[in-house]
Amino acid sequence: MVTTRAQSLQLSTAASADSATELSRETLVQAFRTMYLARCLDDREVMLKRQNRIFFQISGAGHEAVQVAAGLVLRPGYDWVLPYYRDRALVLTLGMTAEEMLLAAVGAARDPNSGGRQMPSHWSHPRLHIVTSSSPTGTQFVHAVGCAEAKAFLNPGSDEITLVCSGEGATSEGEFWESMNIACLERLPLLVLVEDNGYAISVPVERQTAGGNIAKLLEGFPGLLRLEVDGTNFIESFRALKHAADYCRGGHGPALVHASVIRPYSHSLSDDERLYKPKAERELEAARDPLLTFPDFLVRQGYAERQAIERMMRETDLEVAEITQRVLEEPGPPRGSAFIHLYSEKIDPASPEFDAQPRFTGEPRTMIDSINQTLAEEMRRDHRVVVFGEDVADCSREQYLSEVKGKGGVFKATANLQREFGASRCFNTPIAEASIVGRAVGLAARGLKPVPEIQFFDYIWPAMMQIRDEVATFRWRSNGGFSCPMVMRVPIGGYLTGGAIYHSQCGEVVFTHIPGLRVVFPSNALDACGLLRTAIRCDDPVMFLEHKKLYREPYNRAPHPGADYTVPFGKAKTVKLGQDLTIVTYGALVQKSLQAALQVEQRGSASVEVIDLRSLSPYDWEAVSASVKKTSRVLIAHEDTLSWGFGAELAARVAGELFTDLDAPVGRVGALDTWVAYNPQLEDEILPQVADLVRESERLLAF
């Protein structure tokens, strides 16, 4: 039965002893050994940091009891785990070794977590299904949603669960609340463990969480089992977590365990808790330390003798000391390895393999129709492709599908996908961009191919943390252990007449600046089809930018080029040949550049070459370089604001590498450095027009 209020599991000593009978003597003793090993590793790393032999340390001290309990209710390599940086004892229980942890501390090349790329305690272990973790707080919650959701696609009928862990401070992040909402909406097998040590660095819980209790704040979330437990008590923690895990395995929905723990060490070695935590409070915490209370319990109940426990502790100390000496000799990552695993080594979307020839059939189609058709073809070809976002489904209330035409996206890019492939593969999401992208991370990490849609580029910013700090780093930071290939479809751009500030902006340069992310920007139906198919078939995260103004233009249509037509990334298209000036552009500026080129040529004897980049990261430097060497003049044009735009990077490279080939300065045309306005005349003044391109072209030709 689902509880409507948090259950408190506070057992007496006798009740705790009774509960311990669920566990064997060997399991109880091993539980303490794991707790002690975790603390011993923390202490060893603290010492190494003070000796300047490692470079960072963050402790899990005080959390060990509930973490070991959590590990014991999971099945390593079967269930999925998204830990946070204090979860040392948890991952030890799941099977990670002391040596693997110390390899991370010294930043060794053999570090299985990241190969020396991340701070220690950023756990990752593919064999154990421990998903690579990061430093941003709370981002893992929405990954866990996607991870749990993947069960229905990959392991239906199983009782696997996903565990996600966090401190209480991270529950203030929006991703936490978004994940709780989705988990309850979908009744996901998601177990959330909140390890509440009372402080988010120096901020006490009563200044972090209204009422000081996250479990109580979640009252009213339907189907969510909420349990509160003393996380320093191993037996109580095991009982609570087993109950929660069984609830999730039984298909009842998500569960949250709110565990009260202690933090006997400062947040990290960069922090000094004595600055904000008084001595009396620290002494009260020390009295609850599970490394003191649990061995006393074992001795008192006859599960172990004091001498045996002390001997085990000495053996563990010696083991950790010996491993430390060995690990300190380990080499770090070799020079020249910085780019390894930044992108996939399995599939190169810029390779000739994707340079297919079109085999046209049918009547010319608009760009939006080509996108819709390509999505459908790829969903037929690959059952792993899943499409979701705001308003992308035909009708979430499926009983009405026979009565209504269906939405299928605000621009109709996803029309009829739900009808053909079902609501499990094309579905609507809450209006929450961070969780749209973060959910895709979890799905992709499990092996699916998510194609999430952000409805307007102007609203992508809540997802920025997910895109920059999670999506783009996922493969690199796990040293190739995990990846999250996906295609983020994003309508972008202005020239809409009335779009104004929040439906008309560009800003693609923000994303081309992110290593690990591919960015493409087609200008016509044919390229949209080929680039989208390449994006779905490649093994990297791709931002697929679709200019809204170009969706239904008559001039950029094309017949269907075939179900296997692809266009390689990083290969530009010369859409007009010329001898005297090169215009490098993309998106909506391609057609305007062609119009400008014709006007320039009609006014004089010069001829203008126009290059459509199509792909922005990577971009085709060879095509740009060859054209500039031929014409000796170049104009770079884009719709985004002029200052600090994508053209600035191209201009700098042209000036730096092709200076002796130039007969004129590098020209640039872009939007004014302000926002796109609602009034059509003002919008025209702000965005680059054909006249602006003509004027700058003639200036360069006259130089």
Q: What is the pLDDT of residue 268?
A: 82
Nearest residue to 29 via CA among 68, 55, 59 = 68
Fold assignment, 7-327 = Rossmann fold (3.40.50)
Structure confidence by residue, pLDDT tens digits, 429-458? 999 999 999 999 999 999 999 999 999 999
For residue 7, name the pLDDT band (cuts at 50, 70, 90).
low
Q: What is the pLDDT of residues 76-117, one digit of tens each?
A: 999 999 999 999 999 999 999 999 999 999 999 999 999 999
Residue 287 amino acid letter: A
- Residue 255 CA to residue 265 CA, distance in Å, equals 29
Q: Where in the chain is the domain with CATH 3.40.50.970?
A: 7-327, 361-560
| CB-based contact 90:68 (threshold 8 Å) | yes
pLDDT of residue 17: 53
Which pLDDT does position 691 carry in this prediction? Answer: 98
Which CATH number describes the domain made up of 573-702?
A: 3.40.50.920
Contacts of 659 (CB under 8 A, 6+ apart): none
State if pTM tops 0.75. yes
Residue 570 has pLDDT above 50, yes or no: yes
d(CA 267, CA 35): 19
Instruction: Indicate the class that CATH gives domain 361-560.
Output: alpha beta
Express each pLDDT in 120-149 by its tens digit. Answer: 999 999 999 999 999 999 999 999 999 999
For the packed helices 98-106 and 25-50, what is the interaxial angle rounded to 10 degrees?
Answer: 20
Q: What is the pLDDT of residue 201?
A: 86
Alpha-carbon distance 2 to 243, whole Å?
A: 12
Annotated catalytic residues are 503
Contact of 382 with 536, CB cutoff 8 Å: yes
What is the C-alpha to C-alpha distance for residues 15 and 38, in angstroms, rounded to an integer?
Answer: 27
| Residue bearing tokens 């296997």 | 564
pLDDT at residue 2 above 80? no
3-state secondary structure of 602: helix
Residue 39: is its pLDDT beyond 50?
A: yes
For residue range 385-395, list pLDDT tens digits in order.
999 999 999 99
Q: In the numeric block, which tokens belong to residue 381?
A: 């070809």
CB-count exposure of residue 246 (10 Å: 0-12, 13-18, 19+): middle
282-339 pLDDT, tens digit per residue, is 899 999 999 999 999 999 999 999 999 999 999 999 999 999 999 999 999 999 999 9
Nearest one of 460, 440, 558 to 510, comparing CA atoms = 460
291-297's contacts with Cβ under 8 Å and 24+ in sequence apart are: 291/35, 291/36, 291/39, 291/64, 293/232, 293/233, 294/31, 294/32, 294/35, 294/65, 294/234, 295/32, 297/13, 297/16, 297/17, 297/234, 297/235
Q: Per-residue pLDDT for 19 more than 70? A: no
Residues of the chain with CATH 3.40.50.920: 573-702
pLDDT at 224: 98
What long-range pairs does 37-41 form, CB within 8 A, spacing at least 24?
A: 37/92, 37/98, 37/316, 37/320, 38/64, 38/67, 38/88, 38/89, 38/92, 39/64, 39/291, 40/316, 40/317, 40/320, 41/88, 41/98, 41/101, 41/102, 41/320
d(CA 237, CA 65) in angstroms, rounded, equals: 7
Helices (H), 226-338: 234-249, 279-287, 290-300, 306-327
- In three-state form (DSSP H/G/I as H, E/B as E, the rest C), the secondary structure along 142-154 is HHHHHHHHHHHHH
Cα torsion angle, 556, 562, 563, 566, sign: negative
CA distance 529 to 356: 12
pLDDT (tens digit, 9 = 90+) per residue, 344-383? Answer: 999 999 999 999 999 999 999 999 999 999 999 999 999 9
**680 contact partners, CB below 8 Å, separation of at least 6:** 497, 498
